């Protein structure tokens, strides 16, 4: 599995706000969330070229994409897709019916974390 962004702005935002470590396809250790100015400089130089440029996410950052308590997520079961908040013990509380906890749901993506937008990367299997 390989996670990546094709949108340079989403990549820069996630590096700045959530500290993910990034690399540019074909180049190792070029961009990291720890060196934001350098990250933005590299992304700015690549930002106009959207044809096939991929900002790969270092495996050390994959844990950031796991849902945690307080996240606003999309989740689905066999019939419906929901927007829900992750609460303790991994239960998802449906925002449409606040008294309803989703059971047997499948996590789809994180929409928001700590009140900030959250961009889910693309995935190559």
pTM across the whole model: 0.73
Q: CA angle, corner 3, sides to 44 and 24, nearest 5?
A: 35
- Which residue among 65, 95, 112 closes a domain? 65
Q: Measured between alpha carbons, how far is 120 from 115 in angstroms, rounded to an integer?
A: 15
Question: Mean pLDDT across the stretch 69-91?
Answer: 77
pLDDT for the residue 117: 95
**Domain, as residue range, for 97:** 72-124
Position 33 pLDDT exceeds 50: no
60 with 113, same domain: the answer is no
pLDDT for the residue 3: 92
Tell which wins on pLDDT, 49 or 112: 112
59 with 86, same domain: the answer is no
Tell which wins on pLDDT, 124 or 39: 124
- Which residue among 17, 40, 65 closes a domain? 65
15 with 54, same domain: the answer is yes
61 with 107, same domain: the answer is no
43 with 83, same domain: the answer is no
């Amino acid at each position: 599995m390989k996670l990546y962004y094709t949108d340079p702005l989403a990549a820069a935002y996630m590096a700045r706000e959530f500290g993910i470590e990034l690399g540019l396809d074909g180049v190792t250790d070029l961009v990291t969330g720890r060196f934001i100015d350098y990250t933005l400089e590299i992304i700015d130089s690549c930002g106009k070229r959207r044809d096939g440029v991929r900002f790969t996410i270092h495996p050390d950052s994959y844990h950031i994409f796991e849902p945690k308590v307080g996240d606003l997520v999309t989740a689905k079961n066999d019939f419906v897709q929901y927007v829900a908040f992750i609460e303790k013990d991994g239960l998802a509380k449906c925002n449409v019916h606040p008294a309803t906890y989703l059971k047997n749901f499948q996590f789809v993506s994180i929409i928001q974390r700590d009140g900030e937008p959250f961009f889910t990367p693309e995935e190559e299997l």
